[in-house]
A and B are shown apart, each in its own frame.
Chain A
Amino acid sequence: MIGLSHYLVLSSLLFGLGLYGVLTRRNAVAILMGIELMLNAANVNFVAFTRFVDPTFVRGHVAALIVITLAACEAVVGLALVINAYRHLETVNVDQVDLMKG
């Protein structure tokens, strides 16, 4: 029988994976992928909690749909910024993007 805890473990693993990606990857696009994993981990939580905690309403499902839309908006703007940065700085490696220090 698959219960709430299974979903929570799955979502924590996804979240941890995303967090690990954000903290260790140096490529801006890969960091963005890590962030998307973290957002989807929250989505798994929302949907699982709807099923087990709040079954009469579908608030968690609605939340997941809203988050998917926002994640798409964020990715669109973010990739545009990454492309623009690449045109000028000729790298998307965040360790080499260091004009400013202090």
Chain B
Amino acid sequence: MTVDLRPLAPEVVVAAAALLALLADVFTRTSRARAVWWLVALVALGWAAGAVWTAGEGAFGVLYARDGLANALQLVGLAVAAGGMLLARDYLARVGLDRGEYYALVLLSTVGAMLMVASQDLLFLFVALETLSVPLYVLAGFARDSHRSQEASLKYFLLGSFASALLLYGVALVYGATGSTGLARLAGAEGSFPLLVGLGLVVVGLGFKAAVVPFHAWAPDVYEGAPVPAVAFMSVLAKVGAVGALVRLLPLTLPHLLPAWQPLLAALSAATMVVGNLAALRQTNLKRMLAYSSVSHAGYLLVGVAAGNGTGVWSAVYYLAAYAAMNLGAFGVLTFLERAGVEADEVEDLRGLADRSPALAAAFAVFMASLTGLPPTAGFVGKFYLFMAALQGGLLWLAVVGVITSVVSVAYYLRAAYAAYLGPGRAGVRLHPGPWAGVGLGVSAAATLLFGVLPGPLTTWAQRVAALLR
């Protein structure tokens, strides 16, 4: 029996680059040589993106599907990885953490996310989830001398592997109910009791990864403690993987069980939007505030999943792409700032940013406006699509909750943006220029504005995913 490995080419390229980066680091002594390997890894990401872009539709056995959803979300995942690498380079060199394994871990976890959005089998989904998560636990603790970073990695690991265990038990129950872990068999299954319990546990496990309320408790501590570039990367990539898997599992595979899962997803989504936004209101630490903001955005993404229709599916894809640009950018601004040898992560630390660097302050304002959902940014268009999907799916109340919580979020996002434009700078806060991070930030800001002003091309591109809906 011959197996066609070509559909797997993008994942193989990224995984090979990860192993190469890990191996090369052992023999690399100078910072200049490290920069070469860093560039090699970036090129590999570009190569993989090209392979995804030109890949048709296909499958690898019954485990893996290279379809529209996989292609779209893999491109988003690769872009997130490239953004994460651009933002990390200058920061890591500055704080003395410039070690090759950082990039290897970023690439490995990207492979996990790529497999996760393409998996057609729940056991394969579990393996992909672990490939995504385990490097992220290490990345959270990458600042080895920082106590907060160690605390972040310990908490992330314990709660993350607990969630993985719940998901696995759910997979075992689904296997018992249908006699297979494949989504193909699941697609025609009756909604028996063990099947529904198993699916519930799988949703809980994925919800943990996406930081959905009530499984979000880890997010604030992990995001506050982990190094900024790692947070920028993990906050988006984990959502790409988890939301991609949820979309494939629920609206694409189980439309016939919609009455069973829609109320649950809608309730999770509403709770996530409300709790995330209200908790973000009273934060003074910017990383913690953005952590709760990331929780609330998991809620907005779930609106698309809960809607259960084609519009919901493609608008979730659109929002993931928009979220990748704006959230990478929001955390990316923080990589430039330093206070007394540590990260400047208080909202107050932003004061006077506009005087020191007008471009940085302007970019930060764009990201905050986009996270709020103000036009003319990608966040506005994305939220508009998501709430439209909720209306089409008959979930008027969910769209109303989404609009109201977005209005609430104006308070804390704009407070941070105003801080950048007000008053003299806080004493002791220094601004470090970083050419590569500047490139990453420029691209993010341009994408955030472009997707908002000219949403047409990205919308058409995302809408192709809806063709998968049966």
How far apart sit A55 and B134, CA to CA, in the bound complex (Å)? 33
Taking the nearest CB of chain B, how far is it from the CB of A14, in angstroms? 10
How far apart sit A84 and B157, CA to CA, in the bound complex (Å)? 13
Given known pairs A22-B162, A38-B165, A77-B137, the reply for A59 and B173 (CB within 8 Å) is no
Q: Chain B residues near A22 (CB, 8 Å)?
A: 162
CB nearest to A56 among chain B residues:
B179
Beta-carbon contact of B126 and A84 below 8 Å: no
Given known pairs A81-B141, A81-B153, A99-B225, the reply for A18 and B147 (CB within 8 Å) is no
Q: Chain B residues near A46 (CB, 8 Å)?
A: 172, 175
Given known pairs A28-B158, A35-B161, A63-B181, the reply for A99 and B148 (CB within 8 Å) is yes
How far apart sit A81 and B225, CA to CA, in the bound complex (Å)? 14
Q: Chain A residues near B148 (CB, 8 Å)?
A: 99-100
Beta-carbon contact of A82 and B154 below 8 Å: yes
How far apart sit A49 and B122, CA to CA, in the bound complex (Å)? 15
Beta-carbon contact of B147 and A89 below 8 Å: yes
Describe B's contact surface by its main secondary structure.
Answer: helix
Beta-carbon contact of A85 and B175 below 8 Å: no
Describe A's contact surface by its main secondary structure.
Answer: helix
Task: Tell yes or no: A73 within 8 A of B by CB.
Answer: yes
Instruction: Report the contact-size class of chain B (Cβ under 8 Å from the partner).
Output: 35 or more
Taking the nearest CB of chain A, how far is it from the CB of B271, in angstroms? 20
Q: Chain B residues near A81 (CB, 8 Å)?
A: 137-138, 141, 150, 153-154, 157
Taking the nearest CB of chain A, how far is it from the CB of B109, in angstroms? 12
Q: Chain B residues near A13 (CB, 8 Å)?
A: none
Name the one of A15, A32, A53, A70 contacting B169, with C-beta atoms under 8 angstroms.
A15
Beta-carbon contact of B168 and A67 below 8 Å: yes
How far apart sit A89 and B155, CA to CA, in the bound complex (Å)? 13
Task: Tell yes or no: B145 within 8 A of A by CB.
Answer: yes
Name the one of B150, B175, B220 contacting A49, with C-beta atoms under 8 angstroms.
B175
CB nearest to A63 among chain B residues:
B123
Beta-carbon contact of A88 and B150 below 8 Å: yes
Beta-carbon contact of B134 and A73 below 8 Å: yes
CB nearest to A31 among chain B residues:
B158
Given known pairs A42-B168, A81-B138, A102-B288, the reply for A89 and B173 (CB within 8 Å) is no
Taking the nearest CB of chain B, how far is it from the CB of A50, in angstroms? 8
Beta-carbon contact of A94 and B145 below 8 Å: no
Beta-carbon contact of A84 and B175 below 8 Å: no
Task: Tell yes or no: A10 within 8 A of B by CB.
Answer: no
Taking the nearest CB of chain A, how far is it from the CB of B20, in angstroms? 20
How far apart sit A49 and B177, CA to CA, in the bound complex (Å)? 9
Q: Which positions 38-56 of chain A face chain B at CB distance < 8 Å?
A: 38-39, 41-43, 45-46, 48-49, 53-54
Q: Chain A residues near B164 (CB, 8 Å)?
A: 74
Beta-carbon contact of A78 and B181 below 8 Å: no
Beta-carbon contact of A84 and B141 below 8 Å: yes
6 A-B residue pairs with Cβ-Cβ distance under 8 Å, sorted by A, are A31-B158, A53-B179, A59-B175, A74-B130, A82-B157, A88-B144
